[in-house]
Amino acid sequence: MYRINKQDAIYAMSPENKPVLTVLSGSTVVFETCDCFEDQIRTADTDFGELDWNRINPATGPVYVEGAEPGDMLAVHIQKIDIAEQGVMVTGPGLGVAGAEFTENVIRMIPVQDGHAVLSDSLRIPINPMIGVIGTAPAEESISCGTPGDHGGNMDCKQIREGSTLFLPVNVPGALFALGDLHAAMADGEVAVCGVEIPGEVTVKIDVVKGEKWPLPMIINEEHIITVASEVELDKAADRAVVNMVHFLNEEAGMDKAEATFLLSLAGDVRICQIVDPLKTARVELPRKYINSRIL
Ligand code: CA
Ligand code: CA
């Protein structure tokens, strides 16, 4: 079992990043992660102006996976997400969907107690630990860890959680995989511009998959097979997640496109991941039972 400390962080997914660890396909790696503010906020009276905004959305890594070549897929099995005992939320003018409703920034420290995020004495929300930023290096460009895309990145998708396998593209030799930005809890939309932002540790097993051309990123867990797409406009993100699933069902599950489209119209829920990042992210969730188990 390998381990990467949170001091080994990147702020963009880039082919120029130097790997901090090299592993064989099939290896298990523990990533220690900062929260999205790189743990700079310790108390609710922290001055926003004193934060170093160059240190936002760090991702721990990257890891070079031996044998991963452009055109392969990376299968990232999320085995365990351990979170700290306290997280933080922020909102304010220009932040999130309701940013125009605020005249000043608000910081709230959020204790995690007995499996709940404690927003107040009367508002205790069950936790759903998840990974906000997780991806591989794009082929040529450098993409900020605050932005999602076909390489993964800041997808803020609550299905990227313990028990899920995330499939990502390999765009450069070794893939250069990294992750960070854990949330103790988050709802679809992430409307405040954050979930319960929290440090933690993530244990993943990383496999290189050769010879498959899936429309990535995709997620498979015990219940669903999921396509994920990010675009500037949410409508287009949702459309592309649907089309990606039609292509997957057509090319991998042997359905003709009409049958696949009918199936999605009846059983494929189109959902929002987040609507607050530079690109918006949508997903389509199809119950696994409708898909030939040969491919899963
Ligand atoms: Ca995020
Ligand atoms: Ca976050």
Residue-level pLDDT at 294: 59
Range in 38-42, 48-52, 79-83, 265-269 the model is least confident about: 48-52
Say whether both 143 and 228 belong to one domain.
Answer: no
Say whether both 93 and 67 belong to one domain.
Answer: yes
Interval 143-186: pLDDT, tens: 999 999 999 999 999 999 999 999 999 999 999 999 999 999 99
Q: What is the CATH number of the domain that holds 188?
A: 2.60.120.580
- CA of residue 148 to ligand 1 center, whole Å: 9
Say whether both 183 and 227 belong to one domain.
Answer: no
* Token code pair at residue 110: 């959020």
Residue-level pLDDT at 295: 62
Q: Whose CA is closest to 41, among 28, 33, 50?
A: 50
Say whether both 224 and 158 belong to one domain.
Answer: no
Q: Report the alpha-carbon distance of residue 61 to residue 47 in Å, rounded.
A: 29
- CA of residue 88 to ligand 1 center, whole Å: 13
Question: What is the longest distance spanned by two Cα atoms in the chain?
Answer: 58
Question: Which 8-state DSSP code applies to residue 17?
Answer: P
SS3 181: strand
* 51-57 average pLDDT score: 90
- High-pLDDT (> 70) share of the chain, %: 99
Residue 292 has pLDDT above 90, yes or no: no
Domain limit, last residue, from 209, 244, 272: 209
Domain limit, last residue, from 147, 178, 209: 209
Question: How many residues can be counted in the chain?
Answer: 296
Say whether both 234 and 153 belong to one domain.
Answer: no
Say whether both 198 and 239 belong to one domain.
Answer: no
- CA of residue 183 to ligand 2 center, whole Å: 6
Q: How confident is residue 293, by pLDDT bands cut at 50, 70 and 90?
A: low
- CA of residue 289 to ligand 1 center, whole Å: 31
* Token code pair at residue 76: 């990232």
Q: Which residue's entry shows tokens 């004495």?
A: 121
Say whether both 251 and 124 belong to one domain.
Answer: no
Q: What is the CATH number of the domain that holds 270?
A: 3.10.28.20
Interval 106-128: pLDDT, tens: 999 999 999 999 999 999 999 99
- CA of residue 182 to ligand 2 center, whole Å: 6
Say whether both 117 and 95 belong to one domain.
Answer: yes
- CA of residue 155 to ligand 2 center, whole Å: 10
pTM of the shown model? 0.97
Say whether both 141 and 17 belong to one domain.
Answer: yes
- CA of residue 121 to ligand 1 center, whole Å: 26
Q: Over the chain, what is the mean pLDDT?
A: 96
- CA of residue 277 to ligand 1 center, whole Å: 7
Interval 220-243: pLDDT, tens: 999 999 999 999 999 999 999 999
Say whether both 226 and 192 belong to one domain.
Answer: no
For the chain, first and last CA: distance in Å?
Answer: 26
Residue-level pLDDT at 53: 85
Q: Report the alpha-carbon distance of residue 220 to residue 142 in Å, rounded.
A: 27
Q: Which residues surround ligand 2, an ion (CB under 5 A)?
A: 36, 132, 181, 197
Q: Report the alpha-carbon distance of residue 65 to residue 181 in Å, rounded.
A: 22
Domain limit, last residue, from 192, 209, 226: 209
- CA of residue 261 to ligand 1 center, whole Å: 31
**Domain extent for 174:** 2-209
Helices and strands, counts by H and E, the chain: 2, 22
Say whether both 106 and 243 belong to one domain.
Answer: no
Phi, psi for residue 193 in degrees, rounded to 5 = 90, 5
Residue 296 has pLDDT above 70, yes or no: no
Say whether both 145 and 289 belong to one domain.
Answer: no
CB atoms within 10 A of CB 52: 9
Question: Rounded to an integer, what is the distance from CA 149 to the centroid of its chain?
Answer: 10
- CA of residue 147 to ligand 1 center, whole Å: 8
HSE (CB half, 13 Å, CA atoms) of 39? 12
- High-pLDDT (> 90) share of the chain, %: 95
Residue-level pLDDT at 54: 86
The number of domains in the chain is: 2
Ligand nearest to the CA of 133: 1
H or E element that contains 266: helix 257-267
